[in-house]
Amino acid sequence: MESNMSEQFVEIDNFGLELLENVDMMMEPQHSHEEVSSQEVLILIEKVILEIVTSLSKDEAPVLVLPNRSSWANVSFDNAVGLQMTSGSSVTTVRSNCSSSVTKFGHILKVLSTIYKLVQSNVYATKRDIYYNDTQLFGSQRTVDSIVDDISCMLKVPRRRLHVLATSKGFISGDLCYLEEDSTKVDCHSNSTATPVSSNVGGIRNIVSSAKFVLIVEKDATFQKLLDYDFCTKLCPCIMITGKGVPDVNSRLMVRKLWDTLHIPIFALVDADPYGIEIMCIYKYGSVAMSFEAHSLTVPSVMWLGLLPSDLHRLRVPEDALIPLTQRDQNKLTSLLKRPYLACQPAWQREMEMMQRSKVKAEIQSLASIAPDFLSRVYLPNKLRYGGWI
């Protein structure tokens, strides 16, 4: 049985060996800021407060200078890291004497104060905890989320070092066991229920797995279907993870953690549409907004397993299962084709140009129009058996 499985998935084994040969090149050293001590974080916050006090003592209105996290002009592309923020990036000035930014100035000081207390007392809190600590001040959870990322970027310190955690929305299942930071043992082998992705991925240790690969699944519905089919044990030992659409930071950290620990192939299964492709690109190359943490979030070894636009033609997916591209889809596709990382992905470029010409898209569920269990019984086994990834 074991030798039969090895023969069946020789392409995955060969690809895994290829990755191991290149692992040093792909494993960029982690940012030195990952190792920032609690004392250093406190000093960085004190420096910010000191600058504010100094401005006030001179009868000047204090300002905070934040790197601009929304501009493509502020990022550079490195094939081994993905999208990373450049050192000379443009900045946003948050003024305390300007009606359009004074509220944000107050929010930043409030969150800085909370972070200082957390780090000082060696206690962790979620972004949700911070929001509910003063809902009237912040107005929405999104405000807190953005402020925490701004502070992390401003101080050049990963969010975990600020003692701020985020509630995870992702799930993981398969051949995987590990210990949480508090020594809780987590076993992801269950066939019927998935395990929520940890809210403290940085604290995970003692990872044990004999998985041959990791499968990133874009949608929760597809993930659940594969879970119900018992995909991770019926085909071969593997790990499945979903960020349930656009991935949260914890799901991305978890994929990176698995890559750093196991060095096995990582495949992405996304819809054959511009937004599915963009989600896969976030796992592989990162995003502009989080480019300041690229070294701990991106996994450039991720491969596109499906659903490929060329698969739609090759498998003769029925026309009534295909969806015409909207103008919004076409604009997104045009934008994706201009991304800096596409230059080193000619096969991806060809697939996207094929979508552009055909003017149609398809969800993973469209394969059910061929046969109800086509995805789990035919499509994925054949793709993995014969090396159908790009």
> Which residues does the annotation mark as catalytic?
132
State phi, psi for 75 to the nearest 5 degrees.
-120, 150
> Among all chains, which residue has been given the structure tokens 């929520």?
196
Q: Give the separation between CA 203 and CA 196, rounded to whole angstroms.
A: 15
CA-based nearest residue to 177, from 166, 190, 193: 190
Quick one: tokens of 289? 């907004």
CA-based nearest residue to 360, from 388, 390, 318: 318
Residues 33-68: b if buried by 16+ CB within 10 A, e if exposed: beebeeeebeebbeebeeebeeeeeeeeebbbebbe
Strand arrangement, sheet containing 214-217: 195-196, 171-174, 239-242, 214-217, 266-269, 303-306
Helix (H, G, I), strand (E, B) or coil at 9: coil
Q: Give the separation between CA 251 and CA 297, rounded to whole angstroms.
A: 9
| Three-state SS annotation for 24-92 | HHHCCCCCHHHHCCHHHHHHHHHHHHHHHHHHHHCCCCCEEEEECCCCHHHEEEECCCEEEECCCCCEE
Residue 210's Cα: distance from chain center in Å?
23
Quick one: tokens of 165? 């955690």
Q: Give the separation between CA 321 and CA 328, rounded to whole angstroms.
A: 20
Inter-CA distances, 274 with 143, 309, 361, Å: 28, 11, 8
Question: Is residue 118 within 8 Å of residue 125, measured between CB atoms?
Answer: yes
